[in-house]
Amino acid sequence: MISFTLWKRNLKVCTLPFLVIFAMLCMYTTVIAYMYNPELSEMLSGYQQALPELMAAVGMTGIASSLLEWMQIYLYGFIMLLFPLIFILVMVQKLLMGPVETGTLANLLATPNSRKKIICTQIVSMALWMAFLIGLVTAVGALSCEILFPGELDIGRYLALNFSTLLLQEAIVGIVFLAACFASSSKMFYLAGAGLPVLFFLMQMVSNMGEKLEILRYVNIYSLLPVEEILKESAYFPIQDAVMSGIAAALFLLGAWQFQKRDFSL
Amino acid sequence: MDRAPVIELQEVTKDYGNGKGVFGLSFAVPKGEVFGYLGPNGAGKTTTIRQLMGFIRPSRGICRMMGMDCFLQAQEIQKHTGYLAGELAFPEDMTGLGFLKFMADMKGMDSHRHMESLMERFGLNPHGRIKRMSKGMKQKIGIVNAFMHQPEVVILDEPTSGLDPLMQNEFVELVLEEKKKGTTILMSSHIFEEVEKTCDRTAIIRSGRIATVEDMKELAGKRKKIYRVMLPHAAAAEKLLQEPGIQPWSHPGAKESLPPNQAEFTVSGSLPDVLRKLADFGVQDLEARNQSMEELFFQYYG
């Protein structure tokens, strides 16, 4: 159901942006892991008392009583959300929006491969790239924690946290992908594909800052990351995972459907 | 089976609003025919081709190739179809060879032999990135791509744009060879000469509508001989054009106006009589030519 030739090409096209974002995430992950110590944790919670809004805005709330909580507070509120978004935008641009806008898609459509096969290949490529990114960062994170603080990291829950993060990012890929399937110019694509996730992200920052704006949490995809459930309640597959998977699948299906029926002025 | 048209349009309409688009297009191309598709810029040539390729869906009407719906059965049609886009867009990071090999894989080709012979034929040096290639070089890649899997039908959108005269001739040769093999070709163009050399029939499209479909052989038979003479002075030229058996010649697309002492005409009477008359008028120079395809077609262009 997918074209292996096109898949290989997709692999090549995204390698450079992947390496850049992967390197950034590795750097942050190892630095944050390296910085872990209970004393610093106290100092940072001092910051949280002094500047509660600012720290909350970037998702840094709570006191880290373990290495896992430390990693969650300082990585999964900002860095692990925003950097993958940059990669998603570049990836979808390269694999879908670019070919539509520049017209190179005509070459693919003029081969005996159905639109369905082509779009399925792009979906699989995108989903795999994201899995690859989060998977490798998880491995790097776990490894650096093990080296720096042997036995300190709760690996099981760390994996659960990253798995949920992956599902969240796949849903974001779905949003950006859907935007590319409907847009015929980069302008529209960026407006919807980048605008919406960034808006969600800003909403997340604002709603973290005050109780009055907490309502914004309920219409925000980033709120679906089940931090509490995994860290506090030790749920390995919280209900949010299913919701995020469902959202991602629905967005991909809707995009693929639109891709198959639309006109391409190539 | 062979008698069924390979390409068939029935009342195909794609309305983009503001009078843009194509309206009620109907024509059929039988197997083995080279069909020209001629028209000024913006007439709807590319819109027609996009519908044949299944990139866009007609708002109304039927668009079929090899008996299959161009949009719904595009995948099946593409197995037997070669395509050259009017505006070539190749992935710029690839080399020419890298792209052609990629396309060969996408088309499921087992052998690269025909691809290589085409590259050689057109003097295509496929190494080096497409980004740095000239328009003509890209056009050659497009031509190789369209023909390399030896398709039964080829759709070409302005195939010789960017090619030098030598390569234009090579291309005409290729089309004639393919015609001998029985390949069906639809070729859009605005170059009369190229259409004249290759096509069996030609449709003229104007403002989204087919103005006429002409048989090229018949059309060639309709051509007139045009004579241009230079006489000693303007009065003689004027007088000559009033003689019986001489018809002044002009056509709507004429670009140049003649000097006053020259005249262009066609002969309706006997040629020896006219020649004698010319001698009496003291003719200084005589030039005879065939009416060009362009002049024949100009009535449809307007």
Query: What pLDDT was estimated at residue A98?
Result: 94
pLDDT of B3 above 70? no
Distance from CA of A154 to the nearest CA of B (A): 44
Q: In b/e form, how buried is each residue of B169-185, taking b as 16+ CB within 10 angstroms?
A: ebbbebbeebbeeebbb
Distance from CA of B173 to the nearest CA of A (A): 24
Q: In b/e form, how buried is each residue of A74-95, taking b as 16+ CB within 10 angstroms?
A: bbbbbbbbebbbebbbbbbbbb
Query: What pLDDT was estimated at residue B19?
Result: 84
| Section B49-73 average pLDDT | 95
Question: Tens digit of pLDDT for each residue in A88-100?
Answer: 999 999 999 999 9
Q: How many C-beta atoms surround the C-beta of residue B40 within 10 A?
A: 14
Task: Give contacts of B90 with chain A, Cβ < 8 Å.
Answer: 104, 107
Query: What pLDDT was estimated at residue B2?
Result: 52
CA gap A265, B74 in Å, rounded? 15
Task: Give contacts of B102 with chain A, Cβ < 8 Å.
Answer: 5, 9
Task: Give contacts of A104 with chain B, Cβ < 8 Å.
Answer: 89-91
CA gap A13, A6 in Å, rounded? 10
In a mutagenesis test of the A interface, which of B16, B105, B110, B152 is the best target, namely the one with the most A β-carbons within 10 Å?
Answer: B105
Contact (CB<8Å) B106/A104: no
What ranges do the domains of chain A cover?
Answer: 4-261
Give Cα separations from A30 to A7, A36, A138, A145, A181 (angstroms): 31, 10, 11, 8, 37
Distance from CA of B251 to the nearest CA of A (A): 37
Query: What pLDDT was estimated at residue B1?
Result: 44
> CB within 8 A of A215, min separation 6: which ones?
A207
Question: Tens digit of pLDDT for each residue in A24-42?
Answer: 999 999 999 998 876 776 7
Question: Tens digit of pLDDT for each residue in A210-253?
Answer: 667 777 777 888 989 888 888 887 788 889 999 999 999 999 99
Question: Is the CB of residue A231 less than 8 Å from the CB of residue A157?
Answer: yes
The span from the first CA to the last CA of chain B, in angstroms, equals 40
Least confident of B69-78, B158-167, B191-200: B191-200
| Section B117-124 average pLDDT | 94
Question: Tens digit of pLDDT for each residue in A60-84?
Answer: 766 677 889 889 988 998 899 999 9
Q: What is the mean pLDDT of chain B?
A: 89
Contact (CB<8Å) A108/B83: no
CA gap A41, A70 in Å, rounded? 8
In a mutagenesis test of the B interface, which of A96, A111, A116, A258 is the best target, namely the one with the most B β-carbons within 10 Å?
Answer: A111
Q: In which band, very low, low, confident or very high, does the pLDDT at B155 lie, cut at 50, 70 and 90?
A: very high
Contact (CB<8Å) A110/B87: no
Q: What is the ipTM of this complex?
A: 0.87
Using the Cβ of B113 and the Cβ atoms of chain A, whether some distance falls under 8 Å is answered with no
For the record, the structure tokens of B248 come out as 């002044």
Beta strands in A86-215 (DSSP E): none
Query: What pLDDT was estimated at residue B70?
Result: 95
Contact (CB<8Å) A263/B57: yes
Question: Tens digit of pLDDT for each residue in A44-63?
Answer: 777 777 777 777 777 676 66
pLDDT of B156 above 50? yes
Alpha helices in chain B (DSSP H): 45-52, 74-78, 96-106, 113-121, 135-147, 165-181, 192-198, 216-221, 234-240, 271-280, 293-301
For the record, the structure tokens of A229 come out as 């459930």
